[in-house]
Structure 1
Amino acid sequence: MIAFKNTIALTSVCLAALMFGLEISSVPVILPTLEKVLHGNFNDLQWVMNAYTIACTTILMATGTLADRFGRKQVFIISIIMFGIASLICGLSQTMPVLIISRFLQGMSGGAMLICQVAILSHQFTGSKERARAFGIWGIVFGAGLGFGPIIGGLIVAVLSWEWVFLIHAVLSVLTLLLILNGVQESKNPEAKRLDVLGIMTLSVSVFCLTFFITQGTTLGFHSTISITIITISVLSFIAFIITENKIQHPMFDFSVFRIRNFSGALLGSMGMNFSFWPFMIYLPIYFQSALQYDSITAGLSLLCYTLPTLVIPPFAERLSIRYQPGVVIPFGLFIIGLGFILMWFGSSAEHASWLTMLPGTLLAGTGLGLTNTPVTNTSTGSVASTRAGMASGIDMSARMISLAINIAIMGFILVSGVLSYLRSNLSVNLNALEWRSLSEKIAAGNITSIHQISPLDSSGSIAHAAITYGFSWIILYGAIGVWILAFFSLMSFSPWKNSVSK
C-alpha cells in the first residue's frame, strides 16, 4: 500500500515537473505566432517570457518557508490549482497585457510547484535507494519537458492552435491534483523560520526594475526622468536587499556561503548557463521561423538539436566530476557552450544558412549545458552543511532565474540594435529615430512584411531577412563572450590546481 501511494506521489510530482519544464521551452516556439495573432510588439514578446521567470524568482525563497510552516502538500495543492487557473487564463487571452499578467501568475505558481516537488520527494522517499531512484525519474521527466518542449509546442500549434500550449496545462493540473490528494503525504518543519518578507520584496523590485529599464529604455529614452528613476530604484532596492540580508537573524541569502570557493564557482556556473544557453533559446525559434522561414514544426524539430544533448550528457558529466573534480568540469562545460555559440555564429553567417549549418553549434552548446547543469546543482548544495542545503539551493535557483530574466532583456536589446544598424546601412529611406526603432522591433519579432510599407521595392523581404540574421550574429557573439568570461571567473573561484596541490 505504501509503495503504491509513493508511486502515485511520484507520478504527481513528475507531472508537475513536466508542466514547469514545458512552460519554459514550448512557449518560445509560439512567440512569432503570438506577435501576429495578438498584435504584440517585440517588448511584449520579451515580457511573455520574462513575466514567468521574474515571478518564479519572487516566489522561490518564500515558498520553501511557507511550505515548511503550513505543510508541503497543502502548498503544493494550492500551487497546482493556481497554475491550472493561470494556464486557463493564458489560453483564453485575447490581448498581450492579459497574457503577460497571466504568465506572471503562472510563473509564481510554477516556482511554488518546483520548490514543493523537491521537499515532497525528500519526505516521501526515506530510503537512500528509493530516494535516488525517485529523484532520478523526476530529473528525467523534468529534463524531457525542457528538451522536448520545442517540438511539443510546434506540434500543438500545427495540430490545434497556440491556445492549447497553455490550455493543456489546465487539464494536466486537474489530473495532477487528483494524484496529489491520493498519494502525497503531508509534512511540516516544526522549526521553520520566519518569512524574509523584506528580503523578497527588495530583491524582486530590484530585478523587475532592472529588466523594465532594459526592455523599455529605448521607448522611454534611457536618459529620460522615468528611466533614471527606475534604474535608481533598482540600485537602491539591491543595496537595501544586501543590508537587510546582513542584519536580520534568518536571511534567505546568507552571504557567508560566498566565501566557500566551490559554492561561488558553482554559482558562476549557474549564471553562465542562464547568461547564454537558456535566454538564447527564447530567440532561436524567431531565427528559425523568420530568418530561415521554417514553420512551427520544423522550427521545433530544429530546436531539438539544441535541447536533446542536455538529456543525454548529464550521466557522463557526473562521471567526469568524480574523476576530474567539478571545479574542472563546470568551467569546461561553460567553455563548450561558448564554443557552440561560435560555431552557431559561423553557421548563421553561411551563404545558404539552414538548420544543418547551425547543427554543429547547437549540438555543442547543448553538450556544454549537459556537462554543466548537474555538477552545478550537486556542487552548490554539496559544498555547504546539510542544514544549509535548502538555502544554497534557493540561492542557486534564484541566480538562474535572475540571470535568465536579465539576459532575455539584454539579448532582445542587442538583437534590435543589430537589426537597426543593418537597416540604417542598407535602406535609403528618410525615417526619424522612433520610426527606425519601431521598424527594427517589428522585424526582430518576426514581422518581416513590415518592411514593405517602408521599402516597397524589397518585395521579397531580403533586406529584412538579412537584417534579422545580422542582429542574431550580435546576440550569438554576446552569448559566447559572456559565457567565456563567466567560465574564467568560475575556474578562478574553484582554483582546482590548489585542490590538486593539497592532495
Structure 2
Amino acid sequence: MKNLIALMATCLAALMTGLEVSSVPVILPSIGQDLRADFDSAQWVMNAYTIACTSILMVAGTLADRLGRRRVFTASMILFGAASLGCGMARTISMLIVYRVLQGAGGGAMLICLIAILSNAYRDGAERGRAFAVWGIVFGMGLGIGPLFGGLIASLIGWRWVFLIHGPLTILTIALVFATIRESRAAGAHQLDLAGMLSLSFSVLGLTFFIIEGPQYGFGSSVMLSMAAAALVSATIFVTVEWLSAHPMVDFSVFRIPNFTGAIMGSAGVNFSFWPLLIYLPLYFENGIGYDRATTGLILLAYTLPALLLPPLGEQLALRYSPRNVIPCGLMLIALGCWAITLGLVLAAPGWISLIPGCILTGMGLGLANTPSSNAATYAVEADRAGMASGIETTIRYVALSVNIALMGLILLIGVRSSLAHDSGGLDAAHASATAERLLTDGIGNDKITVAQQLGRQLALKRGFETLTVYAGLAALFFAMSSFIAFRCETSKRTVGQTQ
C-alpha cells in the first residue's frame, strides 16, 4: 500500500512537470499582453525554465545520492511550488522570468529524483516495470492535455492560475512523500561536478542569448560577438573538464556506440522540432487567426494527443522492427507533419481545418519516436552506465529544446519582418522589425489601421509561420537522417565482425 501511495506522489509530480512544459505556450500571448512583454521576453519565459532544467540535471542526481533522495526531492518540490506561486503573482515580465528560472531548477531536480525514488521503492523487476509504465503514462498525460488545460484555465480564471494551481498540488505531493517514502542514499556517490555544470550552463545561456537578442543588438555588435565568444569558451571548458574527469557527468566515449548515438539523434530530433513548434503555434492560432485560448488549447490536442496515445505502439514496433528503423521513421513523420502544416497555410485561408492533418501527423511521429529513443539510449550501454546514459539523453533533450526555441523565434521574426518589408514597399528595416514583434506579441489588431493593412499583417504572420514550419520539417529530416546513418554504422560494424 505504501508503494502505491509513493507511486501516486511521483505521478503527481510527473503530472505537474508535464503540464508545465505544454500548458505555458498557450498562455504566452496572454502573458505578453498583460505584462506588456515583447517577443524576446516571451521566448525567455520558456527558455528560462529549460536552461535552468539543463543546468540542474547534471548535478541533481549526485546531490540526491549524497544527501538523500527524499530530502532532495522534497527540497526541489518546495522550490518548484514556491516558484510557481511567484510566477502566478509576478507583476512584471522580469519577475516572471526570474521565477521561471527557479521553477525550472526545481522541476529539473524533481524529475531526476523521481526516477531514483521509484527505482528504490520498487525492487522487483516486473513491479518496477509496471510502476514506470504508470508514471510514464501520467507524465505523457500532462504533456498531452497541457494545451487544453492551459487554455481553459486561462479563459475561465486567468493565466496566473496555470502557475498558482501547482501550489496546492505541491503540498499534497510532499505530504504523500513523507507518509510513504523512506530516505535512501547511494553508497558510492561521486563528487559534484560544479565546473561541468557551470560551463555547460554558461555555454547554453550564451548561445541562447546570442540568438534571441541578436536582432536587437545586431549580430555583429561587440556585445553579441563577446557573448558568442563566451559561449564557445564555456563549451570548450565543458568538453575539457568532462574529458579529463575521473567521474564525468558526460562520458564522451559512449558516443562511439552507434546505437547510443542513433538514439540520441532521435531524442534531440523530437526536442529540436516538435516541442519548440508547440510553443509558437499558439501565437498563430491566437494572434494570426484570432482564436481564443480555450479554442487554441482544444486544437492543439490534435498536435499533442497522438504523442500521448501512440508510445505503446512505438514500443511494440521498436521491439518487432528494431529502434533503428522506428526512430528515423517517427522523425520523418514529424517532418511530413510540419510540411503538411505548411501546405495548410499556403493552400487555404487561415483556419484550423487545413492545419489539423499536419498537427496529427506530427503528433504521431513524436508518439512513435520519443519513448523508443529514450529506451534505446539506455539499453545501448552496459547496465552500470545506464544512469549516466539516461542523464546524457535528458540533458541533450533540454539543450536541443533551449537552442531551438531561440532559433525558431529568430526564424519566425525574420519571416514576418521580410514579408512586411517586401509588401509595404518603403518600410525600413527598423520599422518592419518593430511591427513584426508587435504582431507576434499583440496580434493584428484593428484600431487605427485600414482593412488593407489588416490583410497585410495577417499575410505577414502566415508567411512567417510558413517559413517556420518548413524549417521545423528540415530539422526533423536532418535528425532522421543522422539517426538512420548512426544506427547503420552499428549494422556495418556487426557485418564486418561476422566477416572477420
TM-score, normalisation: structure 1: 0.96
- Number of the residue aligned with 1:444: 440
**Cα deviation 1:251-303 (Å, max 9, x = unaligned):** 10000000000000000111110111010000011111112211101100000
**Against the structure 1 CA distance between its residues 352 and 434, is the aligned structure 2 distance closer, same or farther, given a 3 Å change threshold?**
closer
**Cα deviation 1:395-440 (Å, max 9, x = unaligned):** 1011100000000000000001000011011124554x33221111
Residue of 139, 143, 156 corresponding to 1:142 = 139
C-alpha separation in 1, matches of 2:172 and 2:453: 48
Superposed CA RMSD in Å reads: 1.4
C-alpha separation in 2, matches of 1:445 and 1:302: 20
What are structure 2's unaligned runs of at least 5 residues?
A: none
Contact 2:143 2:308 in 1 (8 A): no
Residue of 448, 470, 473 corresponding to 1:480 = 473
C-alpha separation in 2, matches of 1:430 and 1:342: 30
Work out whether 1:153 is the aligned partner of 2:147.
Answer: no
**SS across alignment from 2:347:** coil
Letter of the structure 2 residue corresponding to residue 90 of structure 1: C
Contact 1:26 1:149 in 2 (8 A): yes
Letter of the structure 1 residue corresponding to residue 478 of structure 2: I
C-alpha separation in 2, matches of 1:30 and 1:440: 19
C-alpha separation in 2, matches of 1:105 and 1:448: 33
- The equivalences for 1:184-263 within 5 A come to 184-263=181-260
- The equivalences for 1:55-454 within 5 A come to 55-428=52-425, 430-431=427-428, 433-449=429-445
- The equivalences for 1:39-50 within 5 A come to 39-50=36-47
How far residue 500 of structure 1 moved from its aligned partner, in angstroms, is 8.2
Letter of the structure 1 residue corresponding to residue 492 of structure 2: K
How far residue 497 of structure 1 moved from its aligned partner, in angstroms, is 5.0
Work out whether 1:498 is the aligned partner of 2:492.
Answer: yes
Contact 2:421 2:427 in 1 (8 A): no
Contact 2:348 2:354 in 1 (8 A): no
- Number of the residue aligned with 1:6: 3
**Against the structure 1 CA distance between its residues 459 and 174, is the aligned structure 2 distance closer, same or farther, given a 3 Å change threshold?**
farther
How far residue 352 of structure 1 moved from its aligned partner, in angstroms, is 2.2
**Against the structure 1 CA distance between its residues 423 and 460, is the aligned structure 2 distance closer, same or farther, given a 3 Å change threshold?**
closer
Greater alpha carbon shift after TM alignment, 434-443 vs 88-97: 434-443
Contact 1:333 1:371 in 2 (8 A): yes
**Cα deviation 1:334-392 (Å, max 9, x = unaligned):** 11110111111101223323212111111111111011011111111111111111110
Contact 2:38 2:438 in 1 (8 A): yes
Contact 1:452 1:461 in 2 (8 A): no
Contact 1:276 1:482 in 2 (8 A): yes
Letter of the structure 1 residue corresponding to residue 41 of structure 2: D
Contact 2:330 2:365 in 1 (8 A): yes
- The equivalences for 1:12-23 within 5 A come to 12-23=9-20
**Cα deviation 1:453-484 (Å, max 9, x = unaligned):** 6xx32477221111111100111000101110
Letter of the structure 1 residue corresponding to residue 306 of structure 2: P
Letter of the structure 2 residue corresponding to residue 152 of structure 1: F
Contact 1:56 1:401 in 2 (8 A): yes
TM-score, normalisation: structure 2: 0.97
How far residue 166 of structure 1 moved from its aligned partner, in angstroms, is 0.2
Contact 2:22 2:144 in 1 (8 A): yes
Letter of the structure 1 residue corresponding to residue 70 of structure 2: K
Work out whether 1:463 is the aligned partner of 2:459.
Answer: no
C-alpha separation in 1, matches of 2:456 and 2:85: 39
Contact 1:206 1:233 in 2 (8 A): yes
Identity of aligned residues (%): 47
C-alpha separation in 2, matches of 1:443 and 1:430: 15
C-alpha separation in 2, matches of 1:122 and 1:268: 26
C-alpha separation in 1, matches of 2:311 and 2:492: 26
Contact 2:33 2:441 in 1 (8 A): no
**Against the structure 1 CA distance between its residues 339 and 499, is the aligned structure 2 distance closer, same or farther, given a 3 Å change threshold?**
farther
Contact 1:22 1:149 in 2 (8 A): yes
Greater alpha carbon shift after TM alignment, 474-483 vs 457-466: 457-466
Aligned length: 496
C-alpha separation in 2, matches of 1:270 and 1:254: 18
Contact 1:422 1:470 in 2 (8 A): yes
Greater alpha carbon shift after TM alignment, 433-442 vs 6-15: 433-442
Letter of the structure 2 residue corresponding to residue 492 of structure 1: I
C-alpha separation in 1, matches of 2:197 and 2:349: 49
C-alpha separation in 1, matches of 2:4 and 2:211: 45
C-alpha separation in 1, matches of 2:71 and 2:452: 58
**Against the structure 1 CA distance between its residues 499 and 302, is the aligned structure 2 distance closer, same or farther, given a 3 Å change threshold?**
farther
Contact 1:286 1:446 in 2 (8 A): no
